[in-house]
Each structure stands twice: as C-alpha cells, then as structure tokens.
C-alpha cells in the first residue's frame, strides 16, 4: 500500500511500522491478475537477459586484444545487468506466492542488496559512458589524455565500490518480516527510525537518479550539439565514422535506460510524498501501489534490452562478434590440424 515504507527497489509489498494502513477499495482482481501474469513475464526477462548478457560479456572477454575505453564500460554494464537478472527468479517466485519470501533471511539480504548495488552501478555507468563520449567528441584535442584504458578501469572499479557502498543499508535492514495486510511473511525493509525513510529517498532518487540524470542530459546535449555543428560545417576527421557509430550505440543505451527507469523513480517519489501526507486519498494510494509494481517490471526490461541494442544498433559490436568467431574457428582449425 502507499503508506508502506518509502520506496526501495523490490516488488514486494512493504509496511510502515509507524502508521496503520488499510485498503481504500477492493482491488483484489487486479492483484490476482498481477500474481498470475507477472511471475511469467519476470521469468521471460530473466531467461533472455541471462543469455543476452552472457553472450555480450563473452564477446568482450574473448577478444584477443585490449578493450577500447568504450568497450570497457560496455563490458562492465553487461556484468552489472547479468548480476541484476540473476536475482529475478527469486522475485518471480515471491510474487507467485503473493509476496511470501520462502528463501530465508540470508538470501533476503543478499539478493536485494545485490539488486540495489547494481541499480546504482548501472546509472553511474550510464554517466561514465556519456562522459566518455562527451570527451571524445567535444574535447577532441585532450581526449587522448583523458580517455585511457587505465583510467576507464579505475572509474569502473570506483563505480562498483560506490554501488556497493550505497547498498549497505539494504543489506543491513532487509529482513523477512510479517506484513499484516497481506497475511504473509515477506522480504521487507525495516528501518530502526523514521529518519531513515527520508535518507533513503534522497539516496535512491536524488543520488541514484536525479543528479546522474542531470549529468547525462548535459553530456548528451553537448554531444548532439557537437555532431550537428560538424554536420553543418562539413568538418571531417580521422575516425569520425567509427566515433559516430559508437556514439549512436551509447546514446541509444542511455536513452533506453532513462525510459525504463524514469517511471519507477517517479512512483518512488510519489510514494514518499504519500507517506509524508503531501498527497492523500484512495486514488493516490491505489495508483501508487499498482504503479510501483508495474514500474518495477518496466525497469527489469532494461537489463534484457541492452544486449539486443548491442546487436541491432552496435555495428562495431557486430564486427567484434565476427572477430571472436574468426578467432574461435581459427583455433579449432589449428587444433584439428595438430591433432
């Protein structure tokens, strides 16, 4: 319900221990549809997301050369998506059991902490990708100094560390508890003090979305302006075609990420506003309840769509697939010959 704990990434109903709640209207049929349909859809996303991200990550790892700066970021994004989708079957089962969590306290901490860490990791990688394209296309002269593989690796390590750091409260405060309104034992957030709710909405939606979104919009607006300026002035330079292809791929990834995650954060903020009584009423309560569930599902799609974008938008990625294929076939041919 909308008066549950302020938003946290999960599709489990949560409870606010400081406030009594009740349904305003009968939405049993809507929830029954959700319980029966959503688990199947989550399982499909898990299946394609798992295969797609394993495939994408293997292409990057099997290349017999050092990855480019852009490929380093994409490889880390694939790894982040892979970790993310691994946790989805647990939530599919939980939803099917009407949010009962049958996997114990340890997995409640681990699965939700990992999902939360990778939510932050993904958005910060989107910022890093946008910044990299910004430097490559807008600050071309200094790009060789500011865009090295070593620097990209260090940035990725810092992003993973920061994502893990920001997920610590989820690791600590997630636990299996009784939700009276659902008459079930669910994996929920149980903060020790009301102040934590305000801290978490700042961390979740301000640090984890709004500020990164501002940075992404700035970098990409500068990139688009630079590309338009070059088109109008007919300026050509070495490697421009390759840069344009890479930029198209990365802009598509960032755009899809924003589209998939914006609804979730909008409902998360709306839920917090309901919790502090800035908005009230049955309409808002039911809208937030169902909206958060479906917005979570929409966010899940992002990890499944990224490998598809690599293949259908990333022309250079398709070249990398051919490179790996040639490497593997050549190696097999040599082994057969030697044998």
> Is 270 domain-assigned?
no
Is pLDDT above 50 for 32? yes
- Cα→Cα distances 85→116, 267, 291, Å: 12, 22, 21
Provide the 10 A C-beta neighbour count for residue 195: 9
Tens digit of each residue's pLDDT (9 = 90 or more) over 253-276: 888 888 988 999 999 888 888 888
Q: Which pLDDT band, with edges at 50, 70 and 90, does 332 fall under?
A: low
Is pLDDT above 90 for 50? yes
Is pLDDT above 70 for 204? yes
Half-sphere exposure of 87 (CA within 13 A, CB side): 22
Our CA angle for 284, 96, 292, nearest 5°, is 25
The continuous run of DSSP H or E covering 133 comes out as: helix 104-138
Provide the 10 A C-beta neighbour count for residue 64: 8
Q: Which pLDDT band, with edges at 50, 70 and 90, does 292 fall under?
A: confident
How many structural domains comprise the chain?
1
Query: Residue 90 sits in a domain of what CATH number?
Result: 1.20.1070.10
Per the DSSP assignment, residues forming a β-bridge with 184 are 179
Percent of the chain whose pLDDT exceeds 90: 16
Rounded distance, CA 69 to CA 296, Å? 31
Tens digit of each residue's pLDDT (9 = 90 or more) over 107-153: 988 888 888 888 899 999 989 988 988 888 887 766 666 678 899 99
Q: Which pLDDT band, with edges at 50, 70 and 90, does 24 fall under?
A: low
DSSP letter at 25 equals S
Block residue for tokens 């647990």: 90
Which range has highest mean pLDDT (39-53, 140-154, 316-330)? Answer: 39-53
pTM of the predicted structure, to 2 decimals? 0.82
Q: Is 190 helix (H, G, I), strand (E, B) or coil?
A: coil
> Is 269 domain-assigned?
no
| 52 token code pair | 């797609």
Determine the structural domain holding residue 66 and report its residue range. Answer: 49-226+307-328
> Is 181 domain-assigned?
yes
């Amino acid at each position: 319900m909308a008066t549950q704990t302020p938003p946290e990434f999960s599709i489990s109903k949560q409870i606010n221990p400081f406030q009594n709640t009740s349904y305003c209207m009968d939405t049993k049929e809507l929830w029954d549809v959700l319980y029966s349909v959503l688990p199947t859809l989550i399982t499909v996303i898990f299946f394609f997301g798992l295969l797609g991200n394993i495939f994408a990550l293997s292409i990057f790892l099997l290349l017999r050369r050092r990855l480019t700066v852009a490929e380093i970021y994409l490889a880390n994004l694939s790894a982040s998506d892979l970790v993310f989708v691994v946790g989805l079957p647990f939530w599919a089962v939980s939803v099917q059991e009407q949010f009962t969590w049958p996997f114990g306290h340890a997995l409640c901490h681990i699965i939700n902490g990992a999902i939360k860490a990778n939510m932050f990791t993904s958005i910060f990688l989107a910022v890093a990708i946008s910044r990299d394209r910004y430097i490559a296309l807008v600050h071309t002269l200094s790009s060789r100094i500011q865009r090295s593989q070593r620097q990209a690796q260090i940035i990725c390590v810092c992003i993973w560390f920061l994502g893990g750091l920001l997920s610590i409260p989820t690791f600590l405060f997630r636990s299996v508890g009784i939700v009276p309104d659902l008459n079930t034992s669910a994996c929920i957030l149980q903060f020790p003090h009301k102040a934590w709710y305000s801290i978490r909405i700042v961390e979740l939606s301000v640090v984890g979305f709004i500020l990164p979104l501002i940075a992404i919009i700035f970098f990409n607006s500068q990139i688009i302006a630079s590309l338009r300026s070059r088109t109008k002035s007919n300026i050509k330079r070495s490697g421009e075609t390759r840069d344009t292809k890479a930029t198209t791929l990365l802009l598509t990834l960032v755009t899809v990420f924003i589209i998939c995650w914006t609804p979730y954060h909008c409902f998360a903020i709306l839920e917090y506003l309901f919790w502090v009584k800035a908005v009230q009423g049955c309409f808002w309560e039911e809208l937030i309840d169902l909206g958060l569930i479906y917005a979570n599902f929409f966010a899940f799609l992002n990890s499944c769509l990224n490998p598809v974008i690599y293949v259908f938008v990333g022309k250079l990625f398709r070249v990398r697939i051919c490179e790996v294929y040639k490497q593997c076939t050549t190696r097999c041919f040599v082994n057969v010959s030697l044998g």
